[in-house]
Structure formats: structure tokens, C-alpha cells
Chains A and B, each alone.
Chain A
Amino acid sequence: MRVYHQTGFRDKWNIESFQKGIGDGIIFSPINIDADKLLALEPKLKQTGFLDPQLYLLNEAKGTLDTYPYFPGNIKPDFSTPDLDYSHIQLAELCVDYQVKNDFQYLLIPTRYYADNPSSFFIQSTDYFVTPFCDTVKEKGIDKSILLSVIVKEIMLSDEEKRNEVLNWITGHQDINGVYLIFENNFSTKQVKDFEYLLNVLRFIKVLKDNQLEIHIGYTNTEALIFSITMPASVTMGSYENLRSFGIKRFQELENGRMRAPRARLYSSKLLQWVDYQYIEAMRELMPSYEEYFDDSEYRPLMFEPEYNWHFQKPEPYKHYFHVFNNQIKSLPRRQSERIDFIKTTILNAIELYRNIEKNVLLDDDSNGSHLPTWFNVINAFQKELNG
């Protein structure tokens, strides 16, 4: 299973880590990197990754998105949905050409985002994106795998009719090799703790896998470990929280939107959690062996200096995470049944470690192991379904 860097703001941290051999490829983010700058990047940074075209909001020119030739506003000012009727082929050609010029490993078919998908969503997506895109690839004789971007909303998982509709739509395309799945995350907690949701995600991916599609899951956080039991082709790791959980806000031009700065956290592969650094300071005071709960990396000695000035914009915690999480994913067994048992054991170990920590340090629900029992139960339930 591969691990891609989900890039965004401060993509240089991902690029630097990738250049050190961490991660299998990079997913580039047009709102964060100018189109010409991306073209000029050295080829080996791009040849194992892909571009997320980010046409989610069609004509919203967030960041550097309008520097891309396929950005609808560059085809026609004030581009709107009706304009797709006569511009979809041009848009597809520009989007394919740009991706081919960069020589990415995969070609991505864009998708749009709606708060509530209109009834015509799938028909329009086929007509405006999938068909012209695949036709263009065929006509130009391009020999690259094609991935279909799909934003999966919670309702598409919980509502059987909607789930079948989206699954039928995805599996109905013969020219695609796989899907780039983006699970919309509206949860208020740092980790996903919803049993039904997680189990439905696993079931959803399994159907696509059963249809021989290559599965790439974007915007994953620690729950990538759970998703890994469906044996996807890849999961992602990102620096800031909005790269480890998909929300449309990141792509909107928000006015007066002063964002609250997140707190600095450190990922622990043993605890399966991002722990607020203030708790690490409490652990240092109260637990002589506190360092054992955290992974080693070249960044750790600096971060564990008492004078280290923790801040969510500092690179070390994220570069540490890339190193640790990449290793964690790479250490997973290749066989599904062994992987399931391995992750279950990892979860049980984490629960035990938390028991020790909470003898001394009282953690809040975004740093503790409150997600772990749910995760264990989800995996058990999925394992039962697999074993029929």
C-alpha cells in the first residue's frame, strides 16, 4: 500500500520529506502551487504522484487555482454551470493536457462539490467530466491510468439508495482504472469515532475493490489504518488538519473568516493519536518514562528539548509525522487477514498504553484514546462480514 503526501499550504515540508525517501508520491494542490511553478518542478517529484484538479466549486478562484489553464474562468469570465454545455470538451482537453505535460503517474478526472448533490449530479458529472475526459485521453493516445475523483458524503454511506446510486455510477465507467475517494468529514472531533460511519466506509470501499477498481483514499488521518484493511492502493498523509480531513471551506474564498489557530500536536504511532503538546509537558513532569510513548525520528530530540517552542506552524511535528506514519503504513502485513489482526493488536496495545498514561495525566477527548474501542469494534464487525 502506498502513502501519498496530500499537499496544501507549506507543501515544501512534504517535498523535502519526499526527497528524503518518505512517502511514495505527492498529490499536488492547485490552490497552493502556481501552475507554472508546478510545471517547473523536477520530474521525479511528479512522476509517482498526481494532481487533484480541484474544480470542486467550478469557478471559485481560491489561491493560485486561476493560474491553471483548465480553470473555467480562463475559458470564459463568470463561467457558470450552463457554460459547461459547450465548454466541457475544451475544459477536459486543457485539464488532460496540463496533467500530461507534468507527466504525473495518474490522470485525474475532476469532480464538483455541492452541499446537497442535485438529482442530475451523476448524469452531469458523466456528461461534463467523465466522458469528455476519457474521450480526450483515448483520442490523444495517452497511455496513463485514469482515476475518477469522487467526494463521498455521509448520506451516500448511510442511505442505501444513495449509496447504490453512487456505487452504480462509479462502477459503470469502463474507461477508468480506479477512484480517488474523498470522504467528506463533518465530524467535530479530531478522530472519527462514529461506528456506523466507519463501517459504512469499509463496506463502500469493499464494493469498489470487488469491482476491480484501484482505490486511492485522499485526506486521510489516523483512520487510514482502519481503511487499510480494505486493501486500497494508497492512503494519504498531510500536514495541517485540513489536509487530513476534507471540508469544502478550504476551497472557498472566505471573507472575514479569521480562522482559529489549531493547537500543536504530536502524532504517536503507539497511541494512534495526535497528542496536544501541553499534555506531553504534563507527561514529562509526571511520568519518568514519558518518551517511550512517542516514536523516534530525527526531529524528536529537538521537539523534546524543554525550550522547544511548540507551534502549529513549525515544521518538525509534521515532518516527524510523515516519517512515523509512512513507516507505520509500510509495516502493515500484506495479507488482509494478517493486517486485520495486526491492527487489532496495535489498537489493544494503544488502549493499554492509555491506561498507564491516565493513571497520572488526565487527557481530553481529542488527545485520549476514546476513539480506540470504536475502531476495534468496527474492525471486528468488518472482519465478521468478510468471513461471512
Chain B
Amino acid sequence: MFSTEKEMSKSFERYLRANFGNTYLKEYQGLFGIPDFIFYAKRENGISIISFELKLKDWKRASKQAFRYKSFSNIAYVVLSANNANSAASNIDWFERYNIGLAKFDEDNHFEIIHKPILSVPYSGQLNSRLKDNINSCRRKFKNIDILINEIA
């Protein structure tokens, strides 16, 4: 069980790097809200952006933050500490309605997706472009992106 969000964030960063690559930005500011992580993947059909909001609990607050990230991301996930994810999981229709991803994560680096959202166009072209301008110069490699993205529209 994580005792702080900082601890959870450190573990999740290690997990992200090991399983998806180091194509991410941490606590990137100047957009709409500050996601804990913005993961990006330069693919043939363009750059896909996935934001993560980590929380020990309070899934509703986390989902409001995650919804903001959809302004510039193709996908936004709420990642809850595994021991506190049940109440969110029983409100899965909430996540479906707003097309927000829900996952749980524990200290043993076990990451489980409860709801995988559909890839969508960010609401703000301006914010999305601003973020992509920052990402474009980066040559880092990603992997396993399909685990996070549901491409069926």
C-alpha cells in the first residue's frame, strides 16, 4: 500500500519506463491542469498522447482532473492505488460516459486496466499543438502502446 502519492508516482514512473519506454513528461505545466505523467508515442498516423492522473483515493476528483487533460491528450487515465480502486470500479459507467480510462496500480508494480477508453481527438487544437511542438524534437522510443489505447471509435 502506498503511503503517499509521491511514493506512488516514483513507483509508477519506474513501471512506465520499464514497460512503455521513456517517452513521457512528468508534471508538465502550462496546459490545462498538471498531469502526473504525459506519455507520448510517435506513430505512423501521428503522435498519440496519453495523460495519467495518479491518486491514492478520491476517484471523482481524479476524474475531473483527467477530463481536463483530454483538452490536449488523446486519452486520459485515472490511476488509483489498488487498495482504493473498488469504489471507482463500481462506478465504471461514469468513466465510460466521459471516456476516461481507469486503472489500478500497486506497490508490486501490478498495473491493471479496469476501463480502457477510446482514442479521441483532443478538445483543444491549440494546447495539443503546443504540447506536440515540445515533443517533436524528442527521439526517445516507446513500446507496448496498444495496452493503453482502444482504437475502436
Contact = CB atoms under 8 A, between A and B. Distances in A.
Q: Are A and B co-members of a single complex?
A: yes
Given A278-B68, A278-B71, A281-B71, A362 B123 contact: no
Given A278-B32, A359-B97, A362-B98, A285 B123 contact: yes
Interface residues of B, number: 17
Contacts of B100: 362
B123 A364 contact: no
A362 B64 contact: yes
B55 interface: no
Contacts of A118: none
Interface string B47-86: 0000000000000000111011011000000000000000
B71 A362 contact: no
A306 B123 CA distance: 11
Given A306-B125, A359-B97, A362-B98, A282 B71 contact: yes
A363 B64 contact: yes
B28 to A, nearest CB: 15
A278 B124 contact: yes
Contacts of B123: 278, 281-282, 284-286
A265 to B, nearest CB: 12
A298 to B, nearest CB: 24
A276 B97 CA distance: 21
Contacts of B121: 285
Contacts of A281: 71, 123-124
Interface string A352-380: 00000001111111000000000000000
A357 to B, nearest CB: 12
A173 to B, nearest CB: 48
Interface in A271-301: 276, 278, 281-282, 284-286
Interface residues of A, number: 16
Nearest to B97: A359
A285 B65 CA distance: 18
Interface in B73-120: 97-98, 100
Q: Taking each of B63, B68, B97, which has the highest tally of chain A beta carbons within 10 Å of its own beta carbon?
A: B68
Contacts of A276: 32
A306 B70 CA distance: 17
A297 to B, nearest CB: 23
A309 B130 CA distance: 13
Contacts of A284: 123
Interface string A69-94: 00000000000000000000000000
Interface in A117-172: none
A282 B66 CA distance: 13
A30 B121 CA distance: 48
A362 B59 CA distance: 13
Given A281-B123, A282-B70, A285-B121, A364 B97 contact: no
Contacts of A278: 32, 68, 71, 123-124, 127
A286 B97 CA distance: 12
B68 A364 contact: yes
A364 B71 contact: no
Given A286-B123, A306-B125, A359-B97, 16 more contacts: A276-B32, A278-B68, A278-B123, A278-B124, A278-B127, A281-B123, A282-B71, A282-B123, A285-B123, A361-B67, A362-B63, A362-B64, A362-B67, A362-B98, A363-B64, A365-B64
13 contacts: A276-B32, A278-B32, A281-B71, A281-B124, A282-B70, A285-B121, A362-B63, A362-B64, A362-B100, A363-B64, A364-B64, A364-B68, A365-B64
Interface of A: 276, 278, 281-282, 284-286, 306, 309, 359-365
- In the complex, the 5 A-B pairs of residues with the closest C-beta atoms, listed nearest first: A362-B67, A282-B123, A278-B32, A281-B123, A362-B98
